[in-house]
Every structure is written in structure tokens, then in C-alpha cells.
A and B are shown apart, each in its own frame.
Chain A
């Protein structure tokens, strides 16, 4: 309980600092929402008029605390570009990005953990008997392929996947995004391929990490003891080695989840997904402060919450770790 409370305080402080920083950052870069809104109709009188109307003529501190007090009461303000309440604007985008990230993460876990164990077993140097050499050769080959997948940038993976699944196999229609409100099946299907594009390189990293970790653990004395007690190779691997080997992987997965949220910004571009990432980029260039603030806070809270969950997962896997 004390731990959760402590985490909550960390969350609040983090969000406070990050939101203040992003607010200040906009004061340092040139550009103004008003000039974007008026475009070539911008005259000094209309600029002054609109700045006053939007309250942009007041000091940064005043505006920040006004935004903050609105934010804590659930009022995220009005988007300058779209003249729509930010909460309404972001609702759909947050669901889309969260679903995409969750799917990508699920794919990383589903692909990499079994693949990692398989690869570790294939490349086990103590493996003897018929076909051992062939298995090791296969493992070397799989390791090389894994290395290649690891080095494909998600952007490029996205283009290749769109080409294969969208244009050749026609499993989905590139550019024809389906929002969740108009069909959950189509929505999940459309997001499956971008999620795969994000997941592939990261899965390859996890596979490599897990394989190394398992191989390290297999050298442990306890493994020999387990064998001498008559345990089969599979039994030893799962019952004894897995628990120890998975610990560094969990740390990495936690980091990956934060990374996935960031990676989705690029993937949203390639697959034309209307998520928070694309909206964030556009809002930054439009200087649409209320939208940027809300998205920054959303991403920051996501990262903090994910780290919290990762800590809980450690404790579950390795009870020696005490939180507090």
C-alpha cells in the first residue's frame, strides 16, 4: 500500500514537471498558433485581436497555471486548430493508440518467448546424439535471421508488410482505416499489421536476450543437480531455468512497452492511422498547445504506469525482490 502511494506521488510529480517543461519549450521555439490560424489573412490588428481572445497575450506562468487548474478539474481546454474540446478530440485517438500499443506488446510476448526458448534448446551445446549437428546449424541460421529482423527499422517493416498483406494478399486495405466505432473486427484487423511492424524488431531483440540468458543459466550448478536428479531436458528448462532466465527479459519488456508507444508515432504515419502520434506531430507544428499538453501528459502517464506494472511483475516472478 505504501508502495502504491509512493508511486502515485512519483506519477503526479513527473506529470507536473513534464507538463511544465513542454509548456516552457513552446516559449523557446518560434511560431505562434495565431499566425497559423490566420495564415495569409494575418494583419497586425487581427493578430493582436485573436491573441487577446485566446488569452495568449498574458504571461507564461499565468497561462500555465490556468491550464493546470483546468486540467485537474478535467477541463483540457479547446483545440485552437479544430475549435473542439481536447477531451472529445483525443478520446478516439487514445483508444486507437492504446490498442495498437497493446497489440504490439502482445505480439512481442507471443512471438519472442516461445521463439527464444526454442532457439536456446536448439543451440544447446550439450545436446548429443542423432541430428545434434543439424540442430546446431539450424540454430545458427535462425540466429542470423533474427539478427536481420532486429535491424529492420519499423518504418521500413511497415512498408514491406503493407505491400505483402495489403497489396498482394489483400488481407487489409491500406489507407482505409476502420475506426473502432464502425467495426471492432475491422479495427483490430487493420491494427494487426502495424502492430506486427512495431513488434518484429523488438521481438528479435527479446529472442536474442532470452537465448543468451537461458544459455547462461544452463551453465549453473543447479541445472546439473536437476539433471542428476533425473529431470528430462524439457522439464529442467521449464521448471528450473525459465524462471531465472526470464527476469532480465521482463526488465527489457517493460522498457520495450514505453518504446512501443513512441514507435507507434512513426507507424501511424506509414499506415495512416489516426492516433495520438500523428495528432501530436501536427499539433506541435500548429502550436496547438492544449492538444500537445494533453498528449504529452497521456504518454508520460502511460510510461510511469508501465514501469509500475513491471515492478509488480518482478516481485511476482522473483519473491526475493521487495518493493518499498
Chain B
């Protein structure tokens, strides 16, 4: 009997402890709420941003590869120039720049009074070091492949940096958004130091990444004092967090998710994700090496239906490898080049000798549900014209190694974006010898026009040539182009100033509280 009493006492104590924990936690929560009230309390400083992907990447700006890492660290690092919301380039660490008439020499005057987050001023040495490092001038292997054309980086006098590249390429300027980092600092991977408006504070894998305002920023201090990115990689958990009001900002929501959040304390911005979603075809394997077959498949795809299923019709149809945010280069009419016509598709297939259809395997990265949904609709549409398609889900790492690098596939549904704000970043991968040409597209005219386009130093002429390249991709039916996916952003009603970029970027420095 005595023993039992002991057990009962222990369990009672445990129960009490739990209740107490519940109680004190609750009071903390309420305390947190009152500090936001207007009556003489300190002004709110911190915002919380939900991101659906962990920053499981190197924090070294020259080594990070994932789009989400780039979006977060955009606020920490700056290059000689930085992108602007309207798709242009503005001087950043440099105060001004000039490009030689031959298009192969870039001269930068550095801005004075720019300092790193560790307090050191940015010197010419730091700039030369940073560019040399990205271009791999010492190691022979560039960290970002676009820098392989850099021949020399020099500093004729203090405050001036001259970069010489091995070809005429005025678009190279867009790559000089690459981060300027302090020379001789070797902890970038874990404790990054840059010159941006926010400095890195900490990262806890699967939990959060925290940035804080950099008070000595050359562009003036920003309104938001502290940013916590909460990692919510489960869709349910993300939605619960949004409903609970613990997030101030969340990008990359679907139209369905937006509808679930109507009535909550958010404003919504509907835009696009700035990528080209398509069924990318391996142009080197039978029967996809046959242009008639590819044209038949293009007629078999009903974009309107795909967009209705995915996002209730939101999103922008595209007909080639260029997305609408590139206003200068985007040709909307290409989206209508192949009308949805299953009858014509069957006819073309018969012409190509595939009257009985064929089997097609569509590989889809398993972590991207819009692409999986798209592939599901595509499979049904292709069945209409007699093509038996199957979906094969692959892990992202496997997609990179087997499909992107190994090019062992028939068809794959993904979204392709631009790593820099140049048309070239979108179009160079279809040049027949390009290392990133994972679709094995090969066309003599394309290669010729591409060479002319990149060598052109006249902007209007260059734009015309790039548009021609887009048209060639459409005419040759290189891929089954679908859309730039709809992208919904939820912003808490007391935060404003969101400005979309034509790239996958969230600029915190532009945000401010409304009160």
C-alpha cells in the first residue's frame, strides 16, 4: 500500500509539473502580446518570415547554390553592382562603372565609406580578392562557371578595379553582383561577413536563420531591425503557422493556400515565380529526336487546363525559355504558337511513323508538388493522342546527378530560372556545346544566332537576336513549354513595402512597419 502511494504521489507531481509548464508558458505568450500594444511600449522591431525549405547549404556566397539560400543571403551580401526591382543593375560596392566599347573591359570606381559587418572598411584589395576567388584565377577552377571568361582583375590605383574578360560580353556585368567579401577571412561557410543592409546572426538547421540590421550600412539603416526566417518545410505546419499569426511574411504559396487564408490578417500579392515550367525533352533520344514528334506533343498539351488545375488559371503561359519578368526579352505571342489540337497531334504522330503512339517516361523531382501535379495532367492529355506516359518520381539529388548532369532521361517537368538577370542565363543552355544543355538541343541556326547575340555590343541588336533565339526554340519545339507558375505572397497587414524582383529574391531592406 505504501509503495502505491509513492507511485501516486510521483504521478501527481508530474501532472502538476505539466500544468505549471502550461501555465507559465501561457503567461509568456500574453506578455509577448502586450509588448506589441501601442501604449508607450517599445516599437516592434522584428519580423518573422516563413520559408518552406531549409538553408541546408554553405553560407559562403560563392559556394551556395540553392535559390532559397540566395534569396536570404541577398540581404547580407552585395556585389560591385546589385539588381534592382525593375530588372536593371545599380552600383553597390562600386559607386560607378564603365564598360569599354569593345565590351571586354569593366572599370569600377569603389564607393567610399562602405564597410564590412566586422567593421573593416572595404578596400580595393578585398574587391580584387573576391573577384579572383569566384573566377578561380589562383586555382584554375571558377566557383561560378560564368566567371571562366575572366582573364585578369587589377587595381591601377586605390579605389579603382579593372576586370578584363576574354570575349566581348556586355551582359557579364550582371554577374558582378557576386558578393564582395573580406580578404583573408576564412569562416564564410559558417559565419558569413558581407556588406549588405543585414548582418548574419545565427542559423539553427531545420529551425531558423536570423539576420540583424547593419547600422553602418552605406545606404542608410533600414526599418526592420531583426529578421527570423522560420523553416517550415511541412505544408501543414506552414499553414498552421500562418493561421496562428506567428508569421509576418511568406512567399511561394499556392492559390489554394491563399484561399484558405482569406479572412486572416494578411494582404496578398499574386505574382509569378520567375521561372519557365516545361516538360523538358531530351532532344537526343528516340523518338524525341524527331522534330515532328515534338511538334505533335506540343499540340497535345492544353496549357489552359494545366493552369486551371494548378492555380485556378493564375500564372502566365510561356512558349519559350523566357519568363515575363524579363520584359525586355519576353515574347508573349510565342505561347500561342502551338494551339491545343489533339486531332492535329495524332496526325503529326502518324506522319512521323508513330500512329500507334509510344511510351514516354516523365521524371519529376519528388519535392516539387506543382511539377508533380502538372505531370499528372500532362500524362492524361498525352493519353488522348495515344502516347502512354508514366511518371517517375526522383529525389532532387538524383535529379541533379542523373538528369541534369548525366542527361539520362526522356522527359522531365521542372522550372528553370535565371541565376543572373541576363537573357543569356536563360538561353545559353540550348547552345549545342554548352555544359548545361541538359536537353541536348542542337540546332545550327541557334548556335549561329547565339554567337552573334553574345558578341553584340549594341543593346537593341542584342535584344532582337535574343528574341530570335526564343522563336527558334519554339519553332523547333525544343520543349513542351507551359507557364511561369503562379506565386502568392502573404504579408501581415502591419508590414508594407514589398517589392518583387524579376529573380528569386526577397529584399528585406525595402520592408517597413505601417504604424
A positions within 8 Å CB-CB of B = 30-33, 35-43, 45-47, 49, 81-84, 89, 92-93, 106, 109-110, 114, 159, 162-163, 166-167, 170-177, 179, 183, 185-186, 188-190, 192, 238-239, 242, 269-272, 274-275, 278-279, 282, 285-288
Pair count A-B, CB < 8 A: 177
Supply 25 A–B pairs (Cβ within 8 Å), ascending by A: A30-B398, A31-B395, A33-B397, A35-B401, A38-B65, A40-B419, A41-B143, A42-B405, A82-B190, A110-B11, A166-B244, A173-B29, A173-B241, A176-B230, A176-B244, A185-B24, A185-B25, A186-B25, A239-B1, A269-B233, A272-B231, A272-B238, A274-B207, A282-B56, A285-B367
A37-B24 contact in complex given A45-B141, A159-B236, C-beta closer than 8 Å: no
CA distance A152 to B213 in the complex (A): 46
Contact with A along B13-55 (1 / 0, CB 8 A): 0110010011011101100000000000000000010100010
- B402 interface residue (CB < 8 Å to A): yes
CA distance A106 to B244 in the complex (A): 28
- Name the distance in Å between B437's Cβ and chain A's nearest Cβ: 12
Q: Which residues of B contact A30 (CB under 8 A)?
A: 398, 401-402
CA distance A84 to B1 in the complex (A): 54
A82-B240 contact in complex given A43-B145, A192-B18, C-beta closer than 8 Å: no
Partner of A167 from B244, B396, B435 at Cβ < 8 Å? B244
Partner of B397 from A43, A92, A172, A287 at Cβ < 8 Å? A287
A35 touches B397 (CB 8 A): yes
Q: Which residues of B contact A109 (CB under 8 A)?
A: 11
A110 touches B15 (CB 8 A): yes
Q: Which residues of B contact A35 (CB under 8 A)?
A: 397, 400-401, 405
- Name the distance in Å between A189's Cβ and chain B's nearest Cβ: 3
Nearest A residue to B235, CB-CB: A269
A39 touches B24 (CB 8 A): no
B58 touches A83 (CB 8 A): yes
- Name the distance in Å between A120's Cβ and chain B's nearest Cβ: 16
Nearest A residue to B4, CB-CB: A238
B237 touches A269 (CB 8 A): yes
A175 touches B247 (CB 8 A): yes
A175 touches B50 (CB 8 A): yes
Q: Which residues of B contact A36 (CB under 8 A)?
A: 396-397, 400
A176 touches B241 (CB 8 A): yes
Contact with A along B139-169 (1 / 0, CB 8 A): 0010111000000000000000000000000
Contact with A along B395-432 (1 / 0, CB 8 A): 11110111011000000000000010000000000000
B238 touches A83 (CB 8 A): no
Q: Which residues of B contact A269 (CB under 8 A)?
A: 233-234, 236-237
Nearest A residue to B366, CB-CB: A285
A270 touches B21 (CB 8 A): no
- B184 interface residue (CB < 8 Å to A): no
13 more CB-based (< 8 A) A-B contacts, given A174-B241, A177-B230, A269-B233: A30-B398, A35-B405, A37-B57, A37-B58, A82-B56, A82-B205, A83-B190, A93-B205, A175-B242, A186-B28, A189-B24, A242-B4, A282-B56
B26 touches A189 (CB 8 A): yes
A192 touches B21 (CB 8 A): yes
B397 touches A286 (CB 8 A): yes
Nearest A residue to B144, CB-CB: A41
B206 touches A172 (CB 8 A): no
A174 touches B141 (CB 8 A): no
- B189 interface residue (CB < 8 Å to A): yes
A167-B404 contact in complex given A159-B236, A185-B25, A185-B28, C-beta closer than 8 Å: no
CA distance A186 to B29 in the complex (A): 8
CA distance A6 to B207 in the complex (A): 40
Nearest B residue to A82, CB-CB: B205
CA distance A279 to B54 in the complex (A): 10
- Name the distance in Å between A2's Cβ and chain B's nearest Cβ: 28
- Name the distance in Å between A191's Cβ and chain B's nearest Cβ: 9
- B243 interface residue (CB < 8 Å to A): yes
Q: Which residues of B contact A278 (CB under 8 A)?
A: 206, 233
A39-B22 contact in complex given A166-B240, A174-B246, A272-B241, C-beta closer than 8 Å: no
